[in-house]
Amino acid sequence: MFEIAVGNIIEMDIIGDLKVEETYPSNNRVSFSARKQDGSKKLYVFKGFPLKHLEGDDGLTHEEIDLIKMKIDEYQKLLKNAGVSVIEDIGFISRTHGDGSLFQWQYEPFAGKSIEYIIKNYRREVVLRAIKTVWKTIIEPLFNTYSIESNPLELSVGLDLIPRNMTYIKKEGNSSIDITYVDLFPPKITLATGIERKYKHILEHPEPTDRVVRDLAIFRGFNMIGIIIAFWTHLSRIRPELTLDFYKLFKRLIKDFDVEHKGLGLGLEVDEYTLNNDLSIGGKSHDEISEIIDDWKFKDIFRLRMLACAISFHSKADTEKLTKKVFELSHFQTNRLTHEQILEIKKVILEMTNI
């Protein structure tokens, strides 16, 4: 299998020779940034899928790749049409590398560092300003455009709104920043079901078949509440001391959104999903927390993450490693977590209450 390492020189058709500068974590592709080795020194980001050479090989067929390219392009246009700040100028290259492996590469101009860097390293005021920018340039345009009339909290076009899927570049001459959504795969769009399409929502690659997994993935990617909760929990995981600031900011943004969209009741729906618990739940005792989560199951996985963030905020000790462990243990894509895995997550959460 073709491997990428920082410092490698890679030749790409159309673009030319590039030097790898950074590799990125990805659950479904090979992803890295590389700089052109010519006078322009232009920086690109590449995201690749292995292609099949022969029947039985790992990787995707040309027909599957063509369909993915078409859906990525469609998704990018849908986001752009809504006014979402999304990566532009994407292209595709098929390339056979030195070891014989064949890849289909999606490439795009470098759009800056992940906003995770801002959240982790910048002062409170800058972090909160960045979140407001995400709301105004990514979340709000999507919610305003793709809310489904029959169920207004559901969206026909979704997002995987975690910090690493957005990048930022500082504007010249002032302190403001441009934030760009850069994760176009899997394309979070809905399709007509029928003979060739069993499921309405594109969620992962490969598509999960378990009903509970699909329901949770739809909630996380195509539901206003789920998108906000996913973003809030990841922000709180990165900067636990700002958890209350994040909480108050989203409460205010949601309240303003409800004023503009009378009858939607997004704030009330968020409260219902959180079982009317606010951050004070994280200050409860070990025994109280144990009783609360006793009957929580895989379907409550996002509530378990929220609880870990609340406990981390209240803790006087450093619980960052344990919070990170909760997120790692609770990660899922195509398969549901087992009962034993859920018990392990609960064990870590209760360990947090003992520190």
139 and 256 part of one domain? yes
3-state secondary structure of 37: coil
Query: How high is the pLDDT of residue 205?
Result: 84
Q: What is the pLDDT of residue 275?
A: 86
Domain that holds residue 271: 113-353
User: In the listed set 76, 109, 142, which residue is the last one of a domain according to the structure?
Assistant: 109
Given 62, 83, 109, the domain boundary residue is: 109
Residues 145 and 240 in one domain: yes
For residue 186, whether the previous peptide bond is cis, meaning omega lies within 30 degrees of 0, is yes
**88 within a domain of the structure (yes/no):** yes
On whether the CB atoms of residues 203 and 191 are closer than 8 A, the answer is no
Q: How would residue 13 be classed by pLDDT, with cut points 50, 70 and 90?
A: confident
- Judged against a pLDDT cut of 90, whether residue 215 lies above it is answered with yes
Question: Which region among 2-6, 40-44, 238-242 has the lowest average model confidence (pLDDT)?
Answer: 2-6
Q: Tens of pLDDT along 28-55? A: 788 999 999 998 889 999 998 887 654 5
**Cα gap 232→250, rounded to integer Å:** 8
pLDDT in tens, 274-283: 988 889 999 9
Residue 58: give its domain's CATH number.
Answer: 3.30.200
Separation between Cα atoms, residue 13 and residue 8, nearest integer Å:
16
Q: End of a domain among 74, 90, 109? A: 109
Give me 271's structure tokens: 């409260």
Are residue 26 and residue 165 in the same domain, yes or no?
Answer: no
Q: How many domains does the chain have?
A: 2
CA distance 289 to 349: 9
Q: Is residue 4 part of a domain?
A: no
Q: What is the pLDDT of residue 289?
A: 97
Contact status, residue 177 vs residue 171, Cβ threshold 8 Å? yes
Residue 56 and residue 177 in one domain: no
The DSSP 8-state label assigned to residue 59 in this structure reads S
Residues 196 and 335 in one domain: yes
Domain presence at residue 71: yes
For residues 264 and 317, membership in a common domain is answered with: yes
